[in-house]
Structure 1
Amino acid sequence: MVKRWVQKELPDEEDVQRLSQEINVNEVLATVLLQRGVKDFDQAKQYFRPSLDDLHDPFLMKDMDVAVDRILKAFKQREKILIYGDYDVDGTTSVATLYRFIKSMYPNCDFYIPDRYKEGYGISEKGIEWAKESNIKLIISLDCGIKAVNLVGKAKSYGIDFIICDHHLPGDELPPAVAVLDPKRKDCEYPFKELSGCGVGFKLAQALAKVSSEADEKLLWQSLDFVAVSIAADIVPITGENRILAHFGLEVLNKHPSAGLKALIDLGSYKGKLAIMNIVFGIGPRINAAGRMEHAHSAVRLLLAEDEAETYRLAKLINESNTRRKDFDSQITNEAINMIEANDRTLSSKSTVLFKSDWHKGVIGIVASRCIDKYYRPTVILTESNRKATGSARSVNGFDIYEALCECEDLLDQFGGHMYAAGLTLEIDKVEEFRTRFEKTVSEKITEEQLIPRIDVDYQIDLDVIDTKFYNILRQMAPFGPQNMQPIFVTENLRVHDRPRLLKGEHLKFKVVQGEGGKIMEAIGFGFGQYYDLVNSGMRFKMAYTIEENTYMGNKSLQLYVKDIKFD
C-alpha cells in the first residue's frame, strides 16, 4: 500500500542551536525535542527525568473533596461499597486498582463488571438492580458513567449514591451523582485533561491516601503497573502526567509486577525490558480477551490474585481465551476481505460496511481495524445481537467517524464514541440503507489524502549521525505513544550492501549503505518481502525508519526498523 510521508514542522534554526547548546545534544536531537514541546533546560530535565513529585494534587480535580468525604462517611457508617467498571483493559485495571486499595482499608466492599453481551457498555440496569438487591449504598464507577443520567437517577431513587470516575467527554447534563470526577468537565480546572479511566481512579486513591491514616501508600505506588497498562491499552496521550505515570508504572511492571501481570508476562515469554508496545500488542489484548470471549470478571480476579497457583490458573484461562479470540479474529477478517473483494462496488467504495449475522461480537472491532490495515478507509463491521445489527466503527487519520454516524442518526437505534472509534446498533432491515447513506456521507466529506496512510517524519538525516550516543538519548525519550511517538527518520541515496535475505517468506533483512563508501547499517522490514527484487537490483532508494537495538547471541547492535521504502 502506498503511503505518504509528511515532514513534521521544523522549528526555528535559532531555537535548535540554543537548545542544542543548552542541553549538550546535537541539532538533530534538539529538533526532535522541540517538535515535542521541549524548549529549554528545565523542560528537558522534566522530560528526561520524570518525577512522582510532579504529579498534580488530586484535590485540584472538581468534586474530589466531596468524593473523599462520601467514601470516609461510608467507612464510618459501615455501608457496603461497590466498585463498578467497564469490561475492557482500562475498566478492569481501574477496578483492580481502586478495589484493592479500598479493600486494604475497609472490608465491606465488592466489585462489578457488566457482561459485554447481556448488558453492554457502561452502567447497566441489571447492575443497578444487582446493587439494590446486594444492599449497596455507594457505587464508585470507573471508566464509565459520565452520560448515565437516567440510571444514576434510578440508583438514587433506591437510596444508592454514586461517585463517577470517568475520562470521557461529558454530555450537556451531568448525572445526579454525589461527585463526578472527570478532568474533561467544563468546570474542572484540573491541569491535565488526558488521564485514562484508571488514572482518574488512581487520583481518587491518591486523595484517600492523603487524608486517611489507614491508607497503605505503598500499595498505591504498587498499583502503578495497572495504571501503565491502562494508559498503553486505552491509547491516551503519553504526555504530562500520563508520561510520569507510565514511566514509573513500567518500572514497577519490569521490577516488581503484581502477581497477575507477572503471570501474563511469563506466559507471553517476553524478552528484554517491557515497553508500551508490549502492553499494546501483548498484555492488553490478553486482558481484553476475557471480556471479549467470556466475562471480564476473570480479568479482575487475575489482577487481584495473590496465590501463585490460582494466579497461573487464571492467567492460562485468559491466555486460552486470547488464543480463541485470535482464531475468531483471523477467520472473520478473511471472510470480511472476501466480501469486500467479491464485487467492484464494495472494492471501489470510500467506506466499508459489512454485516454477517453469525460473526462473533467480541472481535468485530478488531476486524474493523484489520480491514483498515488492508484498505485504509472508514469501516463499520456489524453482526447480529438480540435481533439487531450491532457493531463497531473505526476510522482513518483525520476523518471523524462519529460525525459521519451523526449524519445517519435517524437510521440508528443508538450510537456513541469519538473521532476514530464508535459503536452502533440498528434494525437489521436498515443495514442496506445505512450502508448507502454512510458511503454517501464519507464520499462527500473525506479527502483523497485521508485515504492514503501517512507516516509522520521527524527529520531527514544521514546514516553517519547514528551512533550509540545518539541512540541512548533517543531511548531516554520513552515511553513512546500518542503525542510522543518514537522518532521516525528518513535517509536518502541508499542502496543495498550485499545480498538481502528473505525471512519466513515475508520479512526483509538487509544492509544499507549511503552513497559511495558510506556508513553501512543493518535494516529489517517486517512484511516488506515484496521489495526483495527491487532492493536486490541495486536501485537507489530512500527509507523511513526507526532506530532500535538488536541483540543476537549476546551481541548488541543498532538496527533500522523499516517503516516504508520509496525507490528513485
Structure 2
Amino acid sequence: MESPTVWRLRNSDPVAVEALQDGLGLIPITAQILVRRGIDTVSAAQSFLDPSLDELHSPFAFVQMEPAVERLLVAIERGERIVVHGDYDVDGITGTVVLLLALRAIGADIDYLVPHRVEDGYGLKPKGVDRAHKKGAKVLIAVDCGTTDYTAAARARELGIDLIIVDHHEPGDEIPEATAILNPRLPGAGYPEHDMAAVAVAFKLARGVLERHSQGLRGTALLKLVALGTVADMVPLTGENRVIAYHGLQTMGETVNPGLRALMDFSGVRGRITSTDIGFRIAPRINAVGRIGHPKDAVEMFLAEDPGEARRLAKLLHKTNAKRKKIQDKVIDEALKQKPSDTASVVVAAGEWNRGVIGIVAARLVQEWGRPAVVIAIDETGAVGSARSIPGFDIVGALRKVSDLLEEFGGHPQAAGVTIRPENVEPLREALALAGGKELELAMRHSEEITCDAELEFENSLSYLARELERLGPFGIGNPQPRLLCRDLRVESQRVLKKQHLKLRVACGKQSVDAIAWRRSELAEDLTEGTRFDAVAELTINKWAGRSDPQLELLEVNVDGPVTIA
C-alpha cells in the first residue's frame, strides 16, 4: 500500500544548523527543525525556546484601550455595576473569568452573563443587554462577541449602558457604536498582534486597568487561564500567543485555583501540562457544558473558592462531557453517510441534530474528507450551522459569496457559524458546491502534500529525543508538532483499539517503540507482523497510568519499498 500523499522534506542551511548547535547546545534534529521553520539565528532560537514575559506588548497599544480603562476606573470609583457578557466556549468562558477575577480584586461591583447555546444563541443580543440592565449594569463588557452585534449595541445606547467590546472576530462592513472596541482585527486597532484569542484581549484590558489602578500590577497570575483559552481556541501559537501559552502551561500544574485544579484531576492531567492535555482533555470538558448544558457551571467552577464546590462542578463538567461524546458519535455516523462528490467543493451536511456538537462534527468531516464542511442542525425553531475549513481556504469568504441565503454568519477564516432558514439548506448546498473555485482547488491540492521537518535517526534514545522535541512546544496552529520521516520500521505486534485505532509495537534500529494510527484500523491488513514500512510520524510522550513513554503517532505509511521524497 503506497501513500497517495506527496512526502516532502524541508531544506535547511547546514551553516545555520551548526551555529544553533554550537551557540545553544542543541542536538542536530532540534536545530534542523528550528532552521527549517525559519528560526535560523541564535538570538531568534533563544527567544523561541525561552520566551520572556517582557515580550508582551503594552495593553495601551490598542488605540481604544485608554477610553475602556478610563470608563472602568470611573465605574469602580463610583461603585457602578459592571456586567460581563461572555460566550459559551472555552475562550469566552475564560475571558469572562479573567475580567471577573481581576476587577473584583480591586473592588469592582461586577456580575456576569453567559448565553445558553440553544435558548440564547451566539453573540450579544438585545435580550442579553436587557438582562444586563435588569442586573443594574452601567457598563457592559462583551467578551468574545459584539463586533457585529449592531442591534445589541443600539439597545445598550437606548438604555444608557456604556458598552465595551472585547473580541477577536472578523468585523463587518459597519462598526457598532460603543465606548471602546478592543479587537485586533478591527482596522486601525493599533495592536501589533492580529490573531489573538478573546481571552488574551480580555487579559489586556485587565492588565490595563490593573496597571492604572494598582501601581503597575500586571496580572500575570491570570496567565494560566489566558493560556487555557488561547490554546483551546486554536489561534496560532506564535509571537505573543506563544509567550502566553508557554508561561501559562509551564505553571498551570501548580495552580491554586480550586476549579482548575479539580478539573485537571477529573481530566486525568498531572505534572507539566501540554497543549495536547488542553485540547483533548481539559477543554472538551469545559466546552461540553457550553454545548449541551449551561456554561455558567464552568464560570462558577473557576470562581469557586471552596474546593468542595469546585469539585462538585468539575464532576458535573466531566459527566456532561461523557454525555456529549455519545451524542456526538451518533451525529458523526449520520453525517458521514452524506458523502460528497469527488469535486472540489464545500460540503454541507444537515439533519435533525443537537446544535451543541455540530462544530465537532464539522471538524471531523474536514478530517475525513479533506475539504471544508458546514454542518447544519435543523429543528422546529430553525436551522443553525457550524463551518470548519482546511488550511489555505477562507470559509468566511465563501459564506460571504452566498450570504443572500443566510440569515446571519460570521467567524474566522478556519471556523464560522451560520443561521439559515431550513428551506435554504438545499440551495446553500448547491451554492457552496460552486463557491470554492480555484482557491479551494489549490488548498485541497496542498492538503494532499505532507512536509516533514526532519528525518528521525534511531541512534539516540527515543525517550530522550521525545523530551528534547518537547522544548519546541507548546504545539498548535502556527507551531505544529514536528513531522518526522521514519524509514525502515518493522511491525513486531499489532492490535485494534475500540474498533477504530491501530496500535503497533515497531522496531526501529536497535530500539522498539509503541506506535498508534488514530482512526486508521484499516491499516491492520497491511501492517501485519514482520512488515517493513516507512512513515511520517510525530514523536510524542504518551502519559498513561502514571507512565510516560515515547510513542510514534503515524500520519502516513508506505509499505511498498523505500519511499521517494519530493
Alignment TM-score, normalising by the size of structure 2: 0.90
Give a deviation string over 1:380-410, Cα, whole Å, max 9, x none.
2212246422211222232332222223222
Which digits, 9 at most, give the CA deviation of each residue in 1:263-283, with x for residues without a partner? 111112235432111111111
Question: Secondary structure at 1:522's aligned position in 2?
Answer: strand
Distance 2:115 2:304 in 1: 20
Question: What residue number does 2:413 align with?
Answer: 419
User: What SS does the corresponding residue of 2:349 show, helix, strand or coil?
Assistant: strand
Using the alignment, how far apart are the partners of 1:181 and 1:199 within structure 2? 11
The answer (yes or no) to whether the contact 2:374–2:386 under 8 Å persists in 1 is yes
Amino acid in the other structure paired with 1:561: E
SS of alignment partner, residue 137 of structure 1: strand
In the TM superposition, residue 416 of structure 1 has moved relative to its aligned partner by 1.6
CA contact (8 A) 1:94 1:197 kept: yes
Pairing 1:111–2:112 present: yes
Tell me which residue corresponds to 1:545: 537
Instruction: Provide the rounded CA distance (Å) in 1 between the counterparts of 2:537 and 2:196.
Output: 30
Q: Which moved more, 1:70-79 or 1:36-45?
A: 36-45
Change (3 A) 1:173 1:9: farther
For structure 2, list consecutive stretches of 5 or more residues without a partner in the other structure: 562-566
Determine the structure 2 residue equivalent to 1:324.
323
Distance 1:141 1:81 in 2: 11
**Equivalent in the alignment of 1:395:** 389
Distance 1:324 1:495 in 2: 39
**Partners of 1:268 and 1:291 in 2: how far apart?**
17
Gaps of 5+ in 1: none
1:11, distance to aligned residue in structure 2 (A)? 3.4
Give the TM-score normalised by the residue count of structure 1. Answer: 0.90
2:195 corresponds in structure 1 to 194
Please, which of 503, 507, 510 is the counterpart of residue 512 of structure 1?
Answer: 507
In structure 2, what is the Cα distance between the partners aligned to 1:50 and 1:495?
A: 36
Contact between 1:5 and 1:454, CA under 8 Å: does it hold in 2? yes
With over 3 angstroms needed to count, the CA separation of the structure-2 counterparts of 1:558 and 1:417, relative to structure 1, is closer
> Which of 437, 462, 486 pairs up with 1:491?
486
1:407 equivalent to 2:401? Answer yes
Of 70-79 and 503-512, deviating more is 503-512
Residues 157, 41 of structure 1: CA spacing in aligned structure 2 closer, same or farther, 3 A cutoff? Answer: same
1:209 is matched with which residue? 210
Decide which of 472, 475, 479 is 2:474's aligned counterpart: 479
| Aligned equivalent of 1:531, options 519, 523, 532 | 523
User: Partners in 2 of 1:8 and 1:139 — Cα distance?
Assistant: 51
Look up the match of 2:564: none
State the Cα distance separating 1:66 from its structure 2 match: 1.7
More deviation, 162-171/80-89: 162-171
The amino acid that maps onto 2:311 is Y
Whole-angstrom CA distance in 2 between matches of 1:469 and 1:539: 26
Cα distance change on mapping 1:383 and 1:420 into 2, 3 Å: same
Taking a change above 3 Å as real, the CA distance of residues 269 and 157 of structure 1, as seen in their structure-2 partners, is same
Corresponding residue SS for 1:397: coil
Pair 1:360 & 2:354 matched: yes
The number of equivalent residue pairs is 556
1:324–1:47 CA distance, 2 compared to 1 (3 A):
same
Q: Which has the higher contact order (CA 8 A, sep 6+)?
A: 2
Residue in 1 that maps onto 2:294: 295
CA contact (8 A) 2:486 2:536 kept: yes
Are the equivalent residues in 1 in contact too, given 2:491–2:531 (CA < 8 A)?
no
Are the structure 2 counterparts of residues 307 and 215 from structure 1 closer, same or farther at C-alpha, using a change threshold of 3 Å?
farther
> Is the contact between residue 227 and residue 244 of structure 2 (CA under 8 Å) also seen in structure 1?
yes
Q: Partner of 1:370 in structure 2?
A: 364
Aligned twin of 1:159: 160
Deviation at 1:424, TM superposition (A): 1.6
CA 1:186–1:281 in 2, change beyond 3 Å: closer, same or farther?
Answer: same
How far the C-alpha of 1:214 sits from its partner, in A, is: 8.1
How far 1:540 moved relative to its partner? 3.6
User: What's the CA shift string for 1:411-442, capped at 9, x where partnerless?
Assistant: 22222223222222222222222222222334
Separation in 2 of the partners of 1:338 and 1:545? Answer: 29
Q: 1:281 to 1:558 in 2, by over 3 A?
A: closer
* Structure 2 Cα separation of the partners of residues 362 and 244 of structure 1: 32
Indicate the percent of aligned positions where both proteins have the same amino acid.
Answer: 33
Matched residue SS, 2:366: helix
Once the two structures are TM-superposed, the CA of residue 200 in structure 1 deviates from its matched residue by 0.8
Q: Deviations over 1:280-318 (max 9, x none)?
A: 111111111112112211111111111122111211222
Q: Which moved more, 1:100-109 or 1:282-291?
A: 100-109
Please provide the CA RMSD for this pair.
2.7
Distance in 1 (alpha carbons) for counterparts of 2:442 and 2:57: 43
Q: Which amino acid aligns with 1:432?
A: E
**Structure 1 residues 8 and 534, CA gap change in structure 2 (3 angstroms):** closer
Deviation at 1:97, TM superposition (A): 0.7
Residues 400, 420 of structure 1: 8 Å contact kept: yes
Most deviating of 455-464 and 194-203: 455-464
Equivalent residue, structure 2, for 1:241: 240
- The Cα of 1:354 is off from its aligned counterpart by 2.4
* One-letter code aligned to 2:417: G
* Change in 2 beyond 3 A, CA 1:446/1:238: closer
Q: How many angstroms apart in 2 are the aligned matches of 1:497 and 1:392?
A: 40
Question: Equivalent residue for 1:450?
Answer: 444
The more displaced of 299-308 and 89-98 is 299-308
Q: 284-293 vs 105-114, which deviates more?
A: 105-114
1:552/1:293 Cα in 2 relative to 1: closer, same or farther (>3 Å)? closer
